[in-house]
């Protein structure tokens, strides 16, 4: 379509009409120009198309659709291709329902484990989050359906999310909170980006030109349109000027009229309106062209995929004495209401109406060749101990050879709209674990939760499986994992702290009234725990298997390089156990010395590989300049400093098995601004001013100076005092021995 020609034929009112929705889920049509309406609907782990009157809170029923694991669960797979397959399946279901754009994925960073919506986000690490979001986007859009990457930006809590002002320094934004979006935008090329509700450093995201235009479009090259989160528009006219193209849902024509009036009064340039209309129409006609008129899929096949995916995402966190997989013929006490009434997804706008839901007890009974019994153990609707149910469960556990407790967080504990207050399981779940382990040492706990929990009972259980919120086929997937039909290969995409107080955001979450300050800076998740030497319950990237692996023979294609070059890293991984399985090989980069405080190491590569027993495969990583860079606020750019970098490869952030070193040479030198309050030490630390200081000090200690005969060679106190002295103080003591005019000229420059 000749979009520019269409725009030229439109009245101002028609243009403005395209910049807001007709109702909750569709855009407006202009019949006389052949412009149809376009439907969007909620995701991201399945299609949530409402069948009744529209609402955004999930109150009305939605059509049945496949409910895949939520993002927190999908991230446990560390598998780009697997997440791409999920995206493709969702895309096909969208085509069947005439949905042009599905809202998701969410690439927000898990700043705090208390965030009520963490189940909808991938990771605490921006590299991992960006890679997985890209895979999801590519999968959906490969099937001709658009995505909406959300929520841009710094939307890391639910408390006062509509009004909160997130105060984040630029380096922290660039390295952590924007980096996941940047990677997803550049690699995934989503049709749309959804702006968040909150303010970022004082300005609402919906009217923030720095975010929506300078960074998103000019720097990252985003070519789609920006849509508001539903109800996120604060002031529509500044929003258009800032780069917010589409307001959702409908404003009933109110903001359309505001746009028209602003243009006619000269307060808004009509070219900004035209640009927004053009971006929207480009996507609309793209999705018209990719519309599949006869999409075909089997609900049963998609359920099978959901089961495979949920099993791949399961994370084996503990397996003492090789209790799992279940031994043949063993009697098993299945305990916990989650086993029969599972929590498969989070609450809020992403809530899917599943086509069916597996019963874990039934699935396990069908697969396991021993005897399985069931006890409820607790009530899901109450945060208290039910003595009668507890007694039945303990008796069943005592009579069996193995007890499997299905525990976790009920819907009331975490959801969109509010944040958690603690990291505890419900009291009934805790009491159940304590009581069962007192009579049955062979106890397995299977967790269903959207975010980390505290585990004071961990030392009492033999095995622990983290399944997160595993979607509609979770029950069958857990049966596959527990019986060994599937060897778990998942890894944690976030750190599990021993207690809430250890989290870096603890003192600054969720903020005070309408402001939250990100005081921890770039030290989010494992970056904080490693820098502060704080033990975690389970570290970032951690996960066990029914087999064992060895990572070694690390090789770099060069030991020295310029920062404009790329580094090729190869490493071998071998299955040293008796089962076929998958390992996630993780590569971290560590800067040995820097002018700014950097994390101990940062994830810069990962690959998941399948290996038969005894098999070895070689993994190759390519590291570009960005893998070694940090954001310089003085230059407003990514920079690499000359120096030695460690290349660390292992199976988690704490389990490093191979180390290499590379020396990187860069032309970058941190700028220094000279004033009379610049210290001598700062000048000595800078290569361009060090010679000046040395010459100056030589004259100051010469025969004609008041400081004649002074030496610092063996006087640490004198060295420290002079290093901390500002130039104005040195000028006072040095007298006429030094000609200061040259330094004054440098300051002026």
Catalytically active residues are 229
The structure tokens listed for 394 are: 């303990």
**Contact assessment for residue 273 and residue 12, using Cβ atoms and an 8 Å cutoff:** yes
Q: What span, in angstroms and rounded, lies between the C-alpha atoms of 360 and 700? A: 81
Pure H helices in 491-602: 526-531
Q: What span, in angstroms and rounded, lies between the C-alpha atoms of 259 and 16? A: 6
**Contact assessment for residue 152 and residue 211, using Cβ atoms and an 8 Å cutoff:** yes
Q: Is 73 left (phi over 0), alpha (psi -120 to 50) or beta?
A: alpha
Q: Is 121 helix (H, G, I), strand (E, B) or coil?
A: strand
Residue 165 β-bridge partners: 199, 515
**Contact assessment for residue 442 and residue 462, using Cβ atoms and an 8 Å cutoff:** yes
**Contact assessment for residue 27 and residue 250, using Cβ atoms and an 8 Å cutoff:** no
Q: Is the dihedral of CA 658, 663, 667, 668 positive or negative?
A: positive
For residue 374, the tally of other CB atoms under 10 A from its CB is 22
For residue 171, the tally of other CB atoms under 10 A from its CB is 15
**Contact assessment for residue 234 and residue 196, using Cβ atoms and an 8 Å cutoff:** no
Pure H helices in 404-488: 427-439, 474-483
Q: What span, in angstroms and rounded, lies between the C-alpha atoms of 720 and 722? A: 6
For residue 301, the tally of other CB atoms under 10 A from its CB is 11
Q: Is 505 helix (H, G, I), strand (E, B) or coil?
A: coil
Single out the residue of 282, 291, 292, 71 nearest to residue 192, CA to CA: 282
Q: Is 216 helix (H, G, I), strand (E, B) or coil?
A: helix
Who contacts 143 (Cβ-Cβ below 8 Å, separation ≥6)? 87, 88, 91, 92, 94, 95, 292
């Amino acid at each position: 379509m000749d979009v520019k020609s269409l725009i030229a034929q439109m009245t101002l009112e028609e243009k403005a009409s395209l910049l807001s929705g007709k109702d909750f889920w569709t855009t407006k049509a202009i019949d006389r120009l052949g412009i149809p309406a376009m439907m969007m609907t909620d995701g991201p782990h399945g299609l949530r198309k409402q069948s009744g009157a529209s609402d955004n809170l999930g109150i009305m029923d939605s059509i049945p659709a496949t409910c895949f694991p939520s993002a927190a669960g999908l991230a446990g797979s560390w598998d780009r291709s697997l997440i791409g397959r999920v995206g493709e399946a969702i895309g096909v279901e969208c085509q069947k329902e005439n949905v042009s754009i599905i809202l998701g994925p969410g690439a927000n960073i898990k700043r705090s484990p208390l965030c009520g919506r963490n189940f909808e986000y991938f990771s605490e690490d921006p590299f991992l989050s960006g890679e997985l979001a890209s895979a999801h986007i590519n999968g959906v859009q490969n099937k001709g359906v658009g995505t909406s990457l959300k929520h841009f930006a710094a939307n890391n809590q639910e408390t006062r999310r509509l009004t909160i002002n997130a105060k984040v320094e630029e380096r922290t934004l660039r390295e952590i909170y924007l980096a996941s979006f940047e990677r997803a935008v550049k690699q995934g090329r989503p049709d749309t980006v959804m702006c968040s509700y909150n303010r970022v450093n004082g300005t609402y995201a919906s009217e923030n030109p720095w975010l929506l235009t300078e960074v998103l479009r000019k720097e990252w090259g985003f070519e789609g349109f920006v849509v508001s989160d539903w109800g996120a528009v604060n002031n529509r006219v500044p929003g258009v000027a800032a780069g917010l193209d589409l307001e959702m849902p409908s404003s009933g024509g109110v903001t359309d009229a505001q746009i028209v009036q602003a243009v006619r009064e000269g307060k808004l340039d009509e070219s900004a309106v035209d640009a927004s209309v053009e971006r929207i129409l480009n996507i609309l006609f793209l999705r018209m062209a990719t519309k599949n008129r006869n999409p075909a899929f089997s609900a049963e096949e998609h359920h099978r995929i959901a089961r495979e995916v949920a099993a791949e995402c399961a994370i084996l966190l503990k397996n003492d004495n090789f209790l799992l997989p279940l031994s043949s013929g063993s009697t098993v006490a299945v305990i916990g209401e989650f086993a029969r009434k599972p929590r498969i997804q989070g609450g809020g706008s992403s809530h899917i109406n599943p086509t069916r839901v597996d019963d874990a007890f039934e699935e396990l009974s069908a697969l396991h060749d021993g005897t399985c019994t069931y006890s409820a153990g607790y009530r899901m609707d109450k945060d208290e101990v039910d003595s009668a149910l507890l007694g039945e469960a303990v008796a069943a556990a005592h009579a069996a050879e193995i007890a499997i407790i299905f525990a976790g967080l009920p819907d009331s504990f975490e959801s969109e709209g509010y944040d958690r207050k603690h990291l505890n399981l419900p009291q009934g779940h805790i009491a159940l674990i304590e009581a069962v382990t007192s009579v049955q040492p062979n106890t397995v706990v299977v967790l269903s939760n959207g975010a980390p929990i505290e585990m004071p009972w961990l030392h009492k259980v033999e095995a622990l499986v983290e399944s997160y919120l595993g979607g509609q086929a979770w029950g069958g997937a857990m049966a596959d994992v527990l019986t060994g039909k599937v060897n778990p290969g998942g890894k944690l995409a976030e750190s599990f702290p021993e207690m809430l107080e250890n989290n870096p955001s603890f003192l600054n979450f969720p903020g005070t009234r309408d402001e939250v300050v990100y005081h921890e800076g770039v030290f989010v998740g494992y970056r904080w725990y490693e820098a502060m030497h704080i033990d975690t319950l389970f570290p970032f990237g951690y996960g066990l298997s029914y087999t064992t692996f060895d990572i070694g023979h690390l090789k770099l294609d060069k030991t020295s390089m310029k920062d404009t070059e790329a580094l090729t890293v190869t490493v071998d991984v071998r299955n040293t156990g008796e089962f076929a399985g998958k390992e996630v090989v993780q590569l971290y980069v560590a800067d040995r010395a820097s002018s700014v405080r950097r994390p101990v190491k940062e994830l810069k590569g990962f690959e998941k590989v399948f290996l038969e027993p005894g098999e070895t495969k070689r993994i190759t990583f390519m590291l570009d300049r960005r893998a070694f860079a940090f954001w310089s606020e003085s230059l407003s750019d990514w920079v690499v400093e000359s120096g030695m970098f460690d290349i660390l490869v292992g199976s988690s952030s704490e389990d490093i098995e191979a180390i290499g070193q590379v020396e990187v040479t860069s032309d970058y030198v941190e700028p220094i601004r000279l004033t009379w309050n610049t210290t001598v030490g700062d000048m000595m630390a800078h290569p361009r001013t060090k010679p000046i200081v040395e010459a100056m000090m030589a004259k100051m200690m010469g025969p004609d100076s008041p400081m004649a005969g002074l030496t610092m060679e063996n006087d640490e106190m004198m060295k420290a005092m002079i290093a901390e002295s500002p130039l104005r103080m040195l000028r006072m003591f040095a007298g006429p021995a030094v000609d200061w005019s040259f330094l004054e000229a440098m300051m002026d420059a």
